[in-house]
A and B are shown apart, each in its own frame.
Chain A
């Protein structure tokens, strides 16, 4: 589904990603871990098409297409969803209006008719229940004045609304209480099917109790320095990253 080959990316001529290789197949869940500043969010942003970062080398294929040929909104409509580490506030734009525009733009891209207002509201009610989102939040402006946890939960709500093929969740578990964590995990697990995949960026093994990954990767200084099964996460939890850093020539 997603194939990343030797990906390098810069910001303001500073290299952040230094040759990433990663294969994600449909049906798989990948976890990415790694110390602060190692480039996890950068990788997620590059995949979503943020122009802040310049890709200097490498190739990414998504569902057989050259990912870099697609604009950010095309990538979204083709099923890539990014759960932001720091969700953005958009004052004055109601969640309802925002989601309705998003859903219908994506439908348009797929050659579908826009949802009627009543169908849309029904869908919204359904998904709100699924992620146990407080009703009031959807009447407010996008993320404006939401608490940290509410913002994260709102990302999962949007994911449920948009039903992506590839969900990239950037520390969606950070700042969540235990109940919210279970809900986020449920959201991801509900999406899980032989046709979908997720990349879950996290610092905590705890999340992986709920979302069981097929692979765990360690990103360090712009490179994946170790990949393994879910047991790697336990090892990291126990030993930290230092033992991995040893023997790496920077």
Chain B
């Protein structure tokens, strides 16, 4: 039985990461290394107002005193932070309104190849895109259409220039630069990202999305996303990402902050597909991300959905601070690890307001020699009376050389609240695969079928067109991992 599984494991061909190409574009890059001067230079390069520089410097000084954290279930070689390039941008024509014609055709072709058209005419009418390559945003589509409703959707750099008051008010209000090592680093050197502001009473009529692409070698990507939904506003936001295949590891340390005011609803979906490294564990992205939402208002709701298939190492806990009474936080996650990938992901639900509710559904899938951990905290404070949490954490194993771990932390400080936690571990059996084979279904398709069935509850939460993509992605990520 064991032997047989090994045999199948080794036999099936392995698929290649299909977004692994490199674009040849002229870059403007800093030299490697990080110092106060580099931080100043980034700020200067972006022509930032004084408050931004101050923010960066405070963060940098704080970061200098910190040490990279160590985790029980992640094995990460020492990262040399002086060996990374902190700013790299494709050269562009002189500034001015970015029309599609101003974009380097190579860049446009890159995004076309990734299935992201920057040409509004060719886009699905339901999705507006902010495309970020290496350190900067190249193009935001449908900006004008959205502006008519008072919605601001632009690159973070542009927001700093055009809407400094909003940036000043909200930046760091959910994830302060003191939060953790990577948050401090990001706050010091972040180069771009997306900014999104939905004014009072407006329901955003299309999906907003940011597509992140790392291209340049030896470059860290540090982007920042800030989403603000005012009273009675709602928006659905999507994030996608890929990177070329390179032998050396690359660092990605992002921050996402969400603020939902009274009755506001923000749905944030991620399909994370950074280069995971090759089948021997060489190369790949180190993905250290701090994502947090604050349900600041009453009856507000923030919902995270993530499909994590990429990166050599993922460290990520999209969380909700449920401050407003009756506010709701949700976390739906599918995390796949194959070969030598490592993922430590989960969520924190911090119940502060009364009658707050949270739901956690986490589906881990491990294959190959990978390690997949769920780490979650549910904290119900004293005043959060009558609050509820339901957590479901499932692990699915393919083969017997991978690991799945669950670390649920639960702290409840009042008697009227109910916290429920359920966990299961299962395996795709050789008998299940054979049963499918016997009906004419190939092993890869059988795994796709089983895994998608297992992850259905989460995939159903994704916007339609991305659900289909995510299904395919799950299957591709697991090709060659039968057990």
Q: What residues make up the interface of A, taking CB atoms closer than 8 Å to B?
A: 12, 48-52, 71-73, 75-77, 81-82, 84, 87-94, 97-99, 101-103, 105-106, 109, 141-142, 158, 162
Q: What residues make up the interface of B, taking CB atoms closer than 8 Å to A?
A: 1, 3-4, 7-8, 426, 429-432, 434-443, 445, 449-450, 452-454, 456
Q: Which 5 residue pairs are nearest across A and B when measured between Cβ atoms? A: A92-B453, A72-B437, A102-B439, A93-B453, A76-B440
Question: With a CB–CB cut-off of 8 A, which chain B residues contact A162?
Answer: 439-440
Given contacts A76-B438, A162-B439, 8 further A-B contacts (CB under 8 A): A52-B1, A52-B4, A73-B440, A92-B453, A97-B453, A98-B441, A102-B436, A142-B435
Question: With a CB–CB cut-off of 8 A, which chain B residues contact A49?
Answer: 437-438
Q: How far is the CA of A103 from the CA of B441 in the complex (A)?
A: 9
Question: With a CB–CB cut-off of 8 A, which chain B residues contact A12?
Answer: 3
B453 CB contact (under 8 Å) in A51, A75, A91, A102: A91
- Is the Cβ of A88 less than 8 Å from the Cβ of B432? yes
Q: How far is the CA of A227 from the CA of B414 in the complex (A)?
A: 76
Q: How far is the CA of A31 from the CA of B264 in the complex (A)?
A: 68
- 19 cross-chain CB contacts under 8 A: A51-B434, A71-B437, A73-B441, A73-B442, A76-B438, A87-B435, A90-B449, A90-B453, A91-B453, A91-B454, A92-B450, A92-B452, A97-B449, A98-B441, A101-B449, A105-B441, A106-B440, A109-B440, A162-B439
Main secondary structure of the interface of B (DSSP, over half): helix
Report the minimal beta-carbon distance from B394 to chain A, rounded to whole angstroms: 10
Question: Can you name the residue of chain B whose Cβ is closest to the Cβ of A71?
Answer: B437
A90 CB contact (under 8 Å) in B1, B4, B8, B450: B450
Question: With a CB–CB cut-off of 8 A, which chain B residues contact A94?
Answer: 453
Q: Give the one of A76, A92, A97, A109 with max B CB within 10 A.
A: A92
Q: How far is the CA of A88 from the CA of B428 in the complex (A)?
A: 12
A51-B7, A52-B430, A91-B426 known; A82+B438 contact, CB < 8 A: yes
- Is the Cβ of B431 less than 8 Å from the Cβ of A88? yes
Question: With a CB–CB cut-off of 8 A, which chain B residues contact A105?
Answer: 439-442, 445
B439 CB contact (under 8 Å) in A52, A71, A76: A76
Question: With a CB–CB cut-off of 8 A, which chain A residues contact B442?
Answer: 73, 105
Question: Can you name the residue of chain A whose Cβ is closest to the Cβ of B426?
Answer: A91
Question: With a CB–CB cut-off of 8 A, which chain A residues contact B443?
Answer: 73
Question: Can you name the residue of chain B whose Cβ is closest to the Cβ of A51?
Answer: B4
Q: How far is the CA of A103 from the CA of B440 in the complex (A)?
A: 8
A52-B1, A93-B453, A141-B453 known; A88+B445 contact, CB < 8 A: no
A77 CB contact (under 8 Å) in B426, B429, B431, B440: B440
A52-B430, A88-B432 known; A76+B449 contact, CB < 8 A: no
Report the minimal beta-carbon distance from A82 to chain B, rounded to whole angstroms: 5
Question: Can you name the residue of chain B whose Cβ is closest to the Cβ of A168?
Answer: B438
Question: With a CB–CB cut-off of 8 A, which chain A residues contact B429?
Answer: 88
Question: Can you name the residue of chain A whose Cβ is closest to the Cβ of B8?
Answer: A51
Report the minimal beta-carbon distance from B244 to chain A, rounded to whole angstroms: 34
